[in-house]
Structure 1
Amino acid sequence: MLVTCAIGGVALADPVTITDVAGRSVEVDAPVKTMILGEGRLIYAVAALEDGDPFARVVGWRDDLGKADPATYAVYQAKYPQIDAIPTFGGIKDGTFDIEQAITIGPDIVVMNLEAKGATEDAGLIEKLAAVGIPLVYIDFRDAPIANTTQSLEILGTLLDKEARAKELIDFRDSEIAKVTDRLREANPEKPLVFLERAAGYSEECCMSFGNENFGLMVEMAGGINMAKDIIPGTFGTVNPEQIIASDPDAVIVTGAEWDAYVPGGAWVGLGPNSDPEKAHEKLANLMKRPAFTGVKAAETNNVHGVWHQFYNSPYQFIVIQQMAKWLHPDLFADLDPEATFKELHARFLPVDYDEGYFVSLSED
């Protein structure tokens, strides 16, 4: 059971016991009025559940959204300029999370990504916060998003008193994924070999990829074979260029975002709301000129695509599953419209309008 009432009644805020994605039982007075987000990109989920100002309860957040996804930050900033005044934190993993600042703010809850669990425990953060009555819960849209997204949305629904809305989003997500998986199960088409490159062009290193979770599992759900699933033991890892040449994948899918804050003028593919499609196309084509892709089937046939990197860290994975299925099996999914699905997500759940720019493909040449 995800949530059990510790005290009966229907008061405005009652103690409830939440089982977070790390399996911890955490008592929280819910709904919460104030929260610190251990990662700014958790706003992707919060914004989908709140039916008003998504920042109304956010009294502190990590400073990553404006750096890792400035395009989305700009979209929300235009409608909610007050986000510039929200206190920011560094990351717990790099040791720059200010515990004293968090205690001074005194939120009802601190919400952390599961990936920060080790660093959080090493820093004694849970105990320090508990000493002043601030609980911490873990959710996850990154390490094992296919396994943990539903529970993470349920947890946020409880914290925000948006259980019904969370269920509606979960049902929508499940039904949109089923449009792909059900058809694949029935048609049982031949599966192409796919190489997924994580943050292509972010550094000169080649090539970061995904094991059997996150994008690695998403491409399998979309009807492909993840080339690195037996090479990378965990969610994230690296594949040697020689392995890519030897495997000769049928398709290549890279992730990209606007990363000028991290790697100014880098070779990365800039994707996200309002991105420049011509520039993204040019950079994607240039990435295929690297030695790792010399003579590879996917590069020779232009079966090369780019997707918004932040799908890997949000509850919106069903959108990219649909898009990858359409690329990998264009005839089978000729009627599927991932852009329309994304627009529906915005219209039904998000407080901002949809803007194009999340995908690019060389096969459209």
Structure 2
Amino acid sequence: MQTSLLNIVGGTAIALGCAAAQAEPITITDVAGRQVTVDAPVERMILGEGRQIYLLGALQPDAPFEHVVGWREDFSQADPDSYARYAAKFPELEEIPTFGGFKDGTFDVEQAAALSPDVVLMNLEARAATEDAAYDDKLAELGIPIVYVDFREAPLAHTTPSMRLMGELLGEQEAAEAFIDFSEAQMARVTETIAAAEPERPRVLVDRAGGYSEECCMSFGPGNFGEYVEIAGGSNIAAGIIPNTFGSLNPEQIIAADPQQVVVTGGNWEAYVPGGDWVGVGPGADMDAARAKLEGLTERTAMTGIAAVANADVHAIWHQFYNSPYYFIAVQRLAKWFHPELFTDLDPEATLRELHERFLPVDYAPGYWISLKDD
């Protein structure tokens, strides 16, 4: 039985007897504030969200799937362009067993147990559902610990400790610190300039997944992209309306706020909304198609007469910056849109290219953003 389980993951896992001989128990504090004891370095892990590979890829770029024995099937659907690039270089990912979600109650504890993981990495927003369904108790009875990480609910507060946690679990502390140093240095290029200049802040609407549905408009409150806007020198019009990270604005609220900048988050969501009006930015995106869809979104009722549309200050940016450790790239791009005169020497695309060259296992491809002000 053990041999077949190892074959399932393309021979990338290491035999359990060998792993046990090398690993030692460590106690860590996860981002939920829980103390968890795990045998580390971890040899077998289940990813509670496939997009956790964004973190793993930066820690182990030569073999990001080496220790993954199961994962939730969301990466291929929510970010198919990145998935295709990883699959082309690491075809073994196609053989990794997939799971349903913790939040929707489709996770299979027995299937997870059969893979003998050392740890299950869970995203923080799934904690309540995990505990309600008693997944945590069931896994604990089997001696399988859950470790919570977060790069969505509070990315600015939790991405760094999440990266450090994963560095500890994998024995990749140096790689984790190198990534953290890079991200903090890139953030400082924005925060220090904004603090010194104290510029007038433009009113900004973040249109979350604009065109994904007919609803307009989903947005961000004081967290996530809403916080990115403030750091980048803007004023998020939803901050005083949406109390939590995610919520919605109605067209009347948007028109009354008269945003001077509109930022639409976009991606390739063909798996969810085939042929939808979403703006398909991301690695290798078709920029002509993205621009056409972005222009189409300005014709919605909520965009009537607002300053951003009149001045072509309407932009689209990769949605997954909200859900990855690469948020500092989004902050740089927003800052350059909001205050081009302050950031003439800042090149977010060069930063993104350097991120790929120094840390990530896949090559850089342009297409992560577009603006109606672009030539």
Compute the TM-score of the two structures, normalised by the length of structure 1: 0.96
Which of residues 117, 134, 151 is equivalent to 1:124?
134
Matched, 1:105 2:115: yes
Identify the residue that residue 154 of structure 1 maps to in structure 2. Answer: 164
Matched, 1:115 2:125: yes
Identify the residue that residue 233 of structure 2 maps to in structure 1. Answer: 223
Question: What is the alpha-carbon distance in structure 2 between the residues aligned to residue 220 and residue 233 of structure 1?
Answer: 15
Q: How many aligned residue pairs are there?
A: 355
Q: CA deviation at 1:131?
A: 0.8
Matched, 1:180 2:174: no
Question: What is the alpha-carbon distance in structure 2 between the residues aligned to residue 99 and residue 228 of structure 1?
Answer: 39
Identify the residue that residue 58 of structure 1 maps to in structure 2. Answer: 68
Matched, 1:247 2:276: no
Q: Please state whether the residue corresponding to 1:252 is helix, strand or coil.
A: strand
Which of residues 305, 309, 318 is equivalent to 1:308?
318
Identify the residue that residue 12 of structure 2 maps to in structure 1. Answer: none
Question: What is the alpha-carbon distance in structure 2 between the residues aligned to residue 148 and residue 238 of structure 1?
Answer: 24
Aligned pair in 2 of structure 1 residues 262, 101: CA closer, same or farther (>3 Å)? same
Q: CA deviation at 1:97?
A: 1.1
- Per-residue CA deviation, residues 244-301 of structure 1 (Å, 9 max, x unaligned), is 0000001000100000000000000001111100000000010010000011110111
Letter in 2 for 1:142: R
Runs of 4 or more above 3 Å deviation = none
Identify the residue that residue 198 of structure 1 maps to in structure 2. Answer: 208
Which of residues 71, 88, 91 is equivalent to 1:81?
91
Letter in 1 for 2:84: A
Q: CA deviation at 1:348?
A: 0.8
Question: What is the alpha-carbon distance in structure 2 between the residues aligned to residue 364 and residue 338 of structure 1?
Answer: 15
Which of residues 353, 360, 364 is equivalent to 1:343?
353
Q: Please state whether the residue corresponding to 1:196 is helix, strand or coil.
A: strand
Matched, 1:320 2:335: no
Identify the residue that residue 164 of structure 1 maps to in structure 2. Answer: 174
Q: Identity over the aligned pairs, expressed in percent?
A: 60
- Per-residue CA deviation, residues 152-207 of structure 1 (Å, 9 max, x unaligned), is 00000001101111011111100100000001111111110100011100000111
Instruction: Specify every segment of 5 or more residues in structure 2 that has no aligned partner in the other structure, as ranges.
Output: 1-20
Q: CA deviation at 1:13?
A: 1.7
Q: CA deviation at 1:98?
A: 1.2
Q: CA deviation at 1:12?
A: 3.6
Identify the residue that residue 214 of structure 1 maps to in structure 2. Answer: 224
Q: How large is the RMSD of aligned CA atoms in angstroms?
A: 0.8
Matched, 1:288 2:298: yes
Question: What is the alpha-carbon distance in structure 2 between the residues aligned to residue 99 and residue 197 of structure 1?
Answer: 37
Q: CA deviation at 1:208?
A: 0.4
- Per-residue CA deviation, residues 279-327 of structure 1 (Å, 9 max, x unaligned), is 0000001001000001111011110000000000000000010000000
